[in-house]
Structure 1
């Protein structure tokens, strides 16, 4: 239950940043609500480890997607966006947990992502190329360096921070596009 509450809290924070109505939040919770805590932990691990799509830990996504499509009458696009949102929330949750456990404050990193219109526009157009990511990192290198200052080996966190930024942006865009669909 603790895992599910953490996911639902992450979803609830989107009501502040994305133009979601209560019904949209309830629908976006559908896949999360349909999984057990054990399945949610498996999905988080699968996403953070960038597991293979055939990995059994991803199976709950397929099962819950079918249930949610049936329950809410989602189109194929809405199903894709809801799954993108769930995967992104899983990745955001997992990377945030690791970073926070290492005393890295993700709030400034999140602010940088949500304030980066260029990066969010690239995600909206599904452009997640190396050039887009490098450009985003270049724009926010001072925030990233500040987040890892004081760490004995700050370089070990750069990739994880990049993943967090990508997951956060993808979740934001998926929620926004779901609300518009």
Structure 2
């Protein structure tokens, strides 16, 4: 059976096989705290508008936000488990998402900056986020919820790989 003429021109599919590294299970706490704080602030604002300014629509916004917050809290553990990364020969492959999955391959030679950030809750739990900056604005990737020691080790390894790829070694 003859092949389609464009079949030879297609790039190979992204190889998703291999061992995926996961973020720390404690990262769920960071996400839950953030979700609760955001939901509380929005619900409080809606309640104040409803009570003080007699805005009935604000009551419905508050109720809707409360439901959305509860749903987010239910799905948060699964969403955190979906986050992972792989160190491959030429790039770092990052994935996240349950319903809408996102896969990003960041070539080592394109990494310009590898940064570690720690929010207050993450710092309290001994976690950090590792962020990569490349020349392309759309490839900003952050691996959240890594143990601090793992984040520092991974940062050093990625900087080493990026420098060797840029030098053409």
TM-score by length of 1: 0.23
TM-score by length of 2: 0.24
Q: Which has the higher strand share?
A: 2
Q: Larger C-alpha radius of gyration, 1 or 2?
A: 2
**Higher RCO, Cα 8 Å, sep 6+:** 1
